[in-house]
Structure 1
Amino acid sequence: MNKKAIFGISLILIAIFAIGSASAFDLGSMFGGGGNETVTIDGIDFNIPAGFSEDPNHETVNKTNEQSGITYVTNGKLYEKGNTIVTMLVADYGNHKVTDEVAESVGGDAKTINDVNGYLAHKGKFSVFNYAKNDKLVVISTNDESVIGDFIME
Structure 2
Amino acid sequence: MNKKIFAILSILAVLMIGCAYASDSTDSLNNNTITISGMNFTIPDGFTEDVEGAIVNETGSDEGYNYVTESKTFECNDDFIIISVSIYDKNLTVDYMQDFGDESTINNVTGYFEDVGFLSLFSYTQGNKLIIVSANEKQLIEDVVS
List alignment gaps of at least 5 residues for structure 2: 1-7, 14-26
Q: CA deviation at 1:126?
A: 0.6
**1:98 pairs with 2:92:** yes
Q: CA deviation at 1:35?
A: 7.2
> Map of 1:35-50 to 2, 5 A cutoff?
36-50=31-45
Q: Does the Cα contact within 8 Å between 1:103 and 1:137 map onto a contact in 2?
A: no
Check 1:9–1:67 CA distance in 2 against 1; reply closer, same or farther (3 A cut). Answer: closer
Give the whole-Å Cα distance in 2 for the aligned partners of 1:34 and 1:75.
Answer: 17
Q: Deviations over 1:25-48 (max 9, x none)?
A: xxxxxxx73774211111111101
**Paired-residue identity, %:** 34
Residue among 47, 52, 67 paired with 1:57: 52
Q: Does the Cα contact within 8 Å between 1:103 and 1:119 map onto a contact in 2?
A: no
List alignment gaps of at least 5 residues for structure 1: 1-6, 13-31
Q: CA deviation at 1:102?
A: 4.9
Partner of 2:69: 74
Aligned residues: 127
Give the whole-Å Cα distance in 2 for the aligned partners of 1:36 and 1:106.
Answer: 35
Relative to the length of structure 2, the TM-score reads 0.75
Give the whole-Å Cα distance in 2 for the aligned partners of 1:107 and 1:148.
Answer: 15
Moved over 4 A (4+): none
SS at match of 2:97: helix
> Map of 1:4-153 to 2, 5 A cutoff?
9-10=10-11, 33=28, 36-94=31-89, 96-99=90-93, 101-102=94-95, 104-153=97-146
Give the whole-Å Cα distance in 2 for the aligned partners of 1:135 and 1:61.
Answer: 18
Which has the higher mean CA deviation after the structures are superposed, 70-79 or 105-114? 105-114
Q: Does the Cα contact within 8 Å between 1:98 and 1:135 map onto a contact in 2?
A: yes
Give the whole-Å Cα distance in 1 for the aligned partners of 2:29 and 2:66.
Answer: 38
